[in-house]
Amino acid sequence: MRNVTSETLTDLLLNLSGPDTDPRVQEVLGALVKHLHAFATEVGLTHSEWRKGLELLTRAGEISDAERNEFVLLSDVLGLSSLVDMINSPDDCTSSSVLGPFHVLGAPQLPVGGDLIGDNAGQQVVVQGVVRDQAGAPIEGAVIELWQTADNGLYSGQDATQPDYNLRMAMTTGADGRYAVSTIRPTPYLVPTDGPAGDILNATGRHAWRPSHLHFIIEAAGYRSLVTEVFPSDDPYLDEDAVFGVREDLVMEFQPGTRAALPADIEARDRLDEGFSSVEFDFVLPPA
């Protein structure tokens, strides 16, 4: 292949794949190589720009550790994470949205109606709803994980002042598919801007704000797992999310709550602040 040229390189490379190459690997890698080459050719990528790109990836590796993955954040700010969510979300189910870097395994199990407020400051809210299938039937035994920021905009794990697993829970639905939890309102926050993803935001004059949100993962036997986020309808950054996570169907309405209207299983019912809010939000899962 000493006679390779910029016109023949892409096909030559892809034709090197051996006969045992998995067809899907060949398809995905083939498309990746084609687009990578087309990108470099279209813009006439210089050596200096190529080196800057490699330096960016190298720095992303250096700044990443067990608690922070800059490659995920790059995928987020470049819209790839949300695009993958959109491509894989069936139309008539709850949209998926970015997982983000703050999920941790092992959150404590709460009963339906359990409380996450504990000693947390912030606007109190009761969030409840039903996990359903596409026909509207409740799903029994769905496991719901929830995690969110404290009132200071930080997740436990980022913030030494919060107890382990603060504002994180898992909850299993009963036959009625219902979940319910008392918690506090999440807060908008800035994604980290001290790495390459921040450099991209800065270079293009974009801000780093994410609208406030509750993260959810919902898993149930026989259904596809749902990774998503739910956003208060009055958040100022709802239409400016730095990572493009908001969807119409993921917006939740905060309503004024009244204790008398709460179900009996809301553990914190009698100690909620006057002026607490109430949110109803159902999840619809596609079959596996």
User: Is residue 21 near a second copy by the rule CB under 8 A?
Assistant: yes
Contacting a second copy (CB under 8 A), which of 147, 179, 189, 244?
244
User: Is residue 25 near a second copy by the rule CB under 8 A?
Assistant: yes
What is the bridge-based pairing of β-strands 143-147 and 214-219?
antiparallel
CB of 211 to a second copy, least distance (A): 9
Distance CA 63, CA 130 (A): 40
Stretch that binds a second copy, among 54-62, 121-129, 169-177, 180-188 (CB under 8 A): 54-62
What is the bridge-based pairing of β-strands 283-284 and 124-132?
parallel
Angle between helices 47-63 and 196-203 (to 10 degrees): 130
Distance CA 79, CA 68 (A): 18
Q: Say if residues 104 and 157 touch (Cβ distance below 8 Å).
A: yes
Distance CA 206, CA 218 (A): 32
Name the residue with tokens 């035994």. Answer: 141
CB of 286 to a second copy, least distance (A): 13
User: Is residue 253 near a second copy by the rule CB under 8 A?
Assistant: no
User: Is residue 57 near a second copy by the rule CB under 8 A?
Assistant: yes
Amino acid present at 114? G
Residue ranges in 179-238 that form contacts with a second copy under rule CB under 8 A: 200, 203-206, 227, 231, 238
User: Is residue 37 near a second copy by the rule CB under 8 A?
Assistant: yes
Contacts of 10 (CB under 8 A, 6+ apart): 33, 34, 37
Stretch that binds a second copy, among 12-20, 137-145, 148-156, 163-171 (CB under 8 A): 12-20
User: Is residue 17 near a second copy by the rule CB under 8 A?
Assistant: yes
Q: Say if residues 288 and 219 touch (Cβ distance below 8 Å).
A: no
Residue ranges in 262-281 that form contacts with a second copy under rule CB under 8 A: none
CB of 2 to a second copy, least distance (A): 4
CB of 78 to a second copy, least distance (A): 6
CB of 92 to a second copy, least distance (A): 15
Which is closer to a second copy, CB of 75 or CB of 278?
Answer: 75
Alpha helices by DSSP H, listed for the chain, are: 9-15, 23-43, 47-63, 70-77, 80-87, 196-203
Stretch that binds a second copy, among 62-70, 113-121, 149-157, 185-193 (CB under 8 A): 62-70
User: Is residue 239 near a second copy by the rule CB under 8 A?
Assistant: yes
Residue ranges in 67-106 that form contacts with a second copy under rule CB under 8 A: 69, 71-72, 75, 78-88
